[in-house]
Amino acid sequence: MDELLFKPATEQVALLRSGELSARELLAAHLDRIDEVNGDINAIVTLAPEIAEAAARAADDRHTLGEVGGVLDGLPIAHKDSVDTAGIRTTSGSPIYANRVPDASALIVDRLQQAGAVTIGKTNIPEFGAGSQTFNPVFGATRNPYDLTKTVGGSSGGAAAALASGMIPIADGSDVGGSLRNPASFCNVVGLRPSPGRVPTHPSLTPWSTLLVSGPMARTVGDIALLLQAIAGADPRCPTSRHEPPTMFAAPLELDSGEVKVAWAPTVGGLPIAAAVSTALESVPGVFADLGWQVVEDVPDLTDAPEVFQVLRACEFEVGLGELYDSHRDQLKDTIRWNIEEARRRPLTDYAVASRKHGELFHRVQEFFGQYDVLACPTVQVAPFDVTIDWVRDVDGVVMASYIDWMRACSDVTVMGCPAISVPAGFTPEGLPVGLQLVGRPGDDLGLLRIAKAFESATEVWKRRP
């Protein structure tokens, strides 16, 4: 059964389509796995077996009638607990919403279900998705399948842990400062931050923002492409939507040419990186060279990235949670209160300056990608740390000023406006996963997937199970 559960989602879908496996059989196998390991890991926090069984039965009925289902027909999935799911408790990890059951689903959930995915439950997150350590006062902490004393990162931490432990074959998530990439690195799975608008987000209080994106998480790059076929594509309610058809991600992932020019940035432009992370990734340039790629140590000028990110992020926290701060301040964790207070103490000129610097940074990035096909760098600055630590206070002896500064390997990339993916790349001597972050040209999600697939095939690190 383990061999089935750890097969790529593309192979599980093929078994369903061929009739070798029914959706109900696949669901039962995953439910058994959840029953076996979730008590220790705490990745899936709300289980909906009756809803899942009805969806699996419907998928089997379609197959019996010869109807053509969606690209995910019969495949189990769990949704991030910050994403509304009709009829299933959605708490955002907050005691304020501990018993909330939405009447309608978010767009990404609707698209996944329309593609035939079988909703199995909800995955754990930090409170309101704030921070890259998955714990909250409603459900507690999620533990890393590779070492139960360690964190899974966040904020899509429950999704990453569920994938790594075989509880689900695919997952959805969202990313502002690394929430799809950081937990993917910590759990040896793949997390894609798509180009803004590639996966439209609705509902949204900030529909024009490019900071928050929805995206896929899976165990292989091919599975990421499969998910994009279901969740990508324009929606009129999301003004930043990209209009390329989602079927583009059904194209082969083999590179059209072996000539790839890589900018290798082992410190992402001078960030402190823990020795364990650097050591786990030291073979990466050699892998690129063996693939016949040209490797140059270089990085775009990201000097203004932390200021841009901090200001824009604070603004979004005020928009999203400012009213809750006023009415339920004592029920919000300290880091969320800090972020909202940051927004309120800053003058409007800070936002104006950050907006200008954001535009200048993007133009520098465009020029940079005129020279390179991909930027490669660490996904994380530290290896998975103790699950009882709320956030990292120092990295390689450098003190972190706030709870998000230790994530700059991801958050500095966020404001570049490019697609970015974390792929399994290595392990520390203690057996903890470390991911490689690959950043593609603006808007070139498919090209990025092809480069990531080549790296994945050359290394096969993703095959190392907990």
Residues involved in catalysis:
80, 155, 179
Q: Are 216 and 170 in contact (CB under 8 A)?
A: yes
- CA separation for the pair 466, 463 (Å, rounded): 10
Structure-token pair, residue 143: 């533990």
Q: Where are the extended beta strands (E) located within 280-397?
A: 294-297, 374-378, 394-395
In three-state secondary structure terms, 140 is strand
Burial class from Cβ neighbours inside 10 Å (0-12, 13-18, 19+) for residue 4 reads middle
Residues 6 or more apart whose Cβ sits within 8 Å of residue 97 = 90, 91
DSSP, res 195? P
- CA separation for the pair 21, 111 (Å, rounded): 24
Place of tokens 């890393």: 144
Q: Greatest CA span in the chain, whole angstroms?
A: 63
Q: Are 379 and 266 in contact (CB under 8 A)?
A: no
Measured on CA atoms in the order 291, 282, 8, 185, is the torsion positive or negative?
negative
The residue type of 164 is A
**Buried/exposed code over 185-223 (b: 16+ C-beta within 10 A; e: otherwise):** bbbbbbbbbbbbbbbbbeebeeeebbbbbbbbbbbbbbb
- CB atoms closer than 10 angstroms to residue 254: 9
Candidates 145, 445, 438, 410; CA nearest to 288 is 438
- CA separation for the pair 289, 262 (Å, rounded): 10
Q: Are 128 and 82 in contact (CB under 8 A)?
A: yes
- The end-to-end CA distance of the chain, in Å, is 16
In three-state secondary structure terms, 332 is coil
Name residue 140's beta-bridge partners: 136
In three-state secondary structure terms, 125 is coil
